[in-house]
Structure 1
């Protein structure tokens, strides 16, 4: 009987080993399945991180563009403020026969000296200083030309005039007594 008990114990031990093997394989399969699910979750998390980094990079690029545009606009605004204050008090006057420009107050002699501003640009709220452009030949008309728009040019009459005389009030004859 002892041998039968020993054989039964041995059989039970073998069954236990077989059951442990099945449990181990089942646990290994479950572990493998869990590991695969974890790797998928990890891959999804990395994909989400990558997409967030891409979005952040796009936002940083957009912020940089907006900051650059803001700096340019602030610079233009500051320049416009300087220009506005620089040309405050300019009036539309006739500096020589038929030529009207915006210019500053007259000096002690009554002359309106440069800079002269383009009247067309001034009507649009822009400040563009007219440049003197002499004719290429004696028959060509000398002009005051707007650098912002070449079409805004003012022809100066031919005759005896110079920059020194431009802007002086017309000489008036004293009334006959």
Structure 2
């Protein structure tokens, strides 16, 4: 009788340890997703802080390019007011497009391109864009690992019991999926 009781206690302990381990693993994965999202947020805020300086620098040289500057300002505002992954992703893509237009305008002004302030700001912005791209990739990798834990058996049972929700991926804009046309 005591062997049966010992075996039963061991089985119950194994189940309890598994439940605790799986639950803690899901918490760890969810917190990694939150952390990786905050890293994207930090880089987006850094970019938003650089943009007004860049716009002011360009204004002096390209005053008649008002619509491009307004587009950048509006896109920045949209990003600042975005909530959640989907809204932020859309606003980020809008801002990236507006910045491309801004740099295209800068190509038309040799004095602006030679301006050291503009060059420094452009370099900082390019560095920030690289960090954003890396942060997006890290976030999506983290979301993939977390979502796998939420979907795969047997951890999906624990995830459903404790209401762990899958996270959204940070998507690239649709135009990024098309192959650019290069002509010589």
TM-score range, shorter chain: 0.3 to 0.5
Higher relative contact order (CA 8 A, sep 6+): 2
Q: Which has the higher helix share?
A: 2
Q: Which has the higher strand share?
A: 1
Q: Quick check: which has more Rg, 1 or 2?
A: 1
Q: How high is the TM-score relative to the length of structure 1?
A: 0.39
